[in-house]
Amino acid sequence: MKTSIKITLALAIVSFFTVAAQAQLTAPFAGGVKLQQGGVTNPQFGIGMKAKQTYTSDFTLNWAQPTSNGVLKLSGYGVGGGDVVVSALDLSTDVGSSILGIANGGTGSSTANGALNNLLPTQTGNNGKFLVTNGSNTSWTTAVTSVGLSLPSELTVSNSPVTTTGTLTAAWASQSANKIFASPDGSAGAPSFRSMTSNDVPNLDASKIATGTLPVNRGGTGVTSLAANGVVTVNATGDGLVSTHLNDGQIMIGNTSGGASAATLTAGSGISITNAGGAITISSNANGLNKSRIALSASQYSYTANAAPAGFTLTATSVITITVFEAGGYPITATVTNINTSNNTFDFVISGYPTAGSSALIAFQN
């Protein structure tokens, strides 16, 4: 390292001292420089110098027996004497084998490990300790020799303590079935594994129930779908609903031995039933408009294209009842052979030739 020093040059002397300075010495005065020890003038060694002249040659100062003070001082003497400027000082060659002490900014050692030992606090009696600082100074403190881990009972710890190297491991401890990890029910506190209570269930919108079917005993239907526009009844086991779509005129008819079923009403004698969408019309047709009388010919047993009474419309299922009033008292019956709904007429035959003056009373119903 190259440097320029302009003050007193002080070197610690161990024993025999040699300075081989290969540097520029500039004397800004008339006279020379002298080397003195311990602040006294004897013994002294001087070098004559010319004013304003630079010396670049090597010179050697041999000091055979220094005093106990051991400090050398380089200064000028003569007219205008003062400090001597030493420039371009190379420690590797100019200082030689001397060791710069800590008080003079050095380490006091020629080895890295020795320098470190000199700069650190004393290591005597501090085996196994480590260095700490309080923000201003360093000191030794006791090292940690064991690290352990303690956790709540819900967790188990492995490899504790670690005394050299290792890994502390935690795992959940086994718990009873159907427990949850939660804080106490109804109060603040440390969490633990416990059974769920109703307070643990949040208020949920029904739309959050995305799977499963709510049974009847929980207020549900027990089914996932119902027939469109159907009538709802209970199934045979009583744990679900059944929906049935009804056609025109159908209603649910009870059944002692089973579930209700969809059926239409059946018209009785003299009753007319008309089924429509959302309506059932029941009327009586046992009146004069639904009856007619036809005179029978003594030479005829087949009667065709007989018109229905005015206001009565024949259907394919119309019931036509014919009663023969035989003038001679002979038993003669009549049978309907055809109903023509297009012409609103019907045909019938009788079982024999009647006596003159006989007639047939005919009743109609739908």
What's the confidence (pLDDT) of residue 285?
A: 60
- Spatial neighbors of 233 by CB under 8 A, at least 6 apart, are 241, 242, 243, 244, 252, 259, 260
Residue 145, helix vs strand vs coil: coil
For residue range 261-287, list pLDDT tens digits in order.
888 888 876 677 888 888 998 877 655
What average pLDDT does range 174-179 have in this prediction? Answer: 92
Q: Which pLDDT tens digit goes with each residue over 84-111?
A: 555 555 555 555 567 878 887 788 888 9
Enter the DSSP assignment of 117.
H
Tell me the two tokens of residue 254.
């009870």
What does the domain layout of the chain look like in residue ranges?
Answer: 2-98, 230-263, 288-365
Cα(first)–Cα(last) distance of the chain, in Å? Answer: 134
Cα angle: 266, vertex 269, 271; to 5 degrees: 65
pLDDT tens digit sequence for 320-336: 999 999 999 999 999 99
How many of the other CB atoms lie within 10 Å of CB of 17? 19
From the list 227, 201, 5, the residue with the least C-alpha distance to 100 is 5
CA–CA distance, 347 with 350 (Å, rounded to integer): 11
pLDDT at residue number 255: 86
Alpha carbon distance 244, 246 (integer Å):
6
Give the rounded percent of residues in the chain with a pLDDT score beyond 90.
29
**pLDDT value for 339:** 96
**Does the pLDDT at position 156 exceed 60?**
yes
Instruction: Domain 2-98: give its CATH code.
Output: 2.60.120
Alpha helices in the chain (DSSP H): 112-119
DSSP 208-265: G--SS---GGGTS-SSS---TTEEEEE-TTSSSEEEEE--TT-EEEEETTEEEEEE--
Angle at 89 (CA atoms; ends 50, 27), nearest 5 degrees: 15
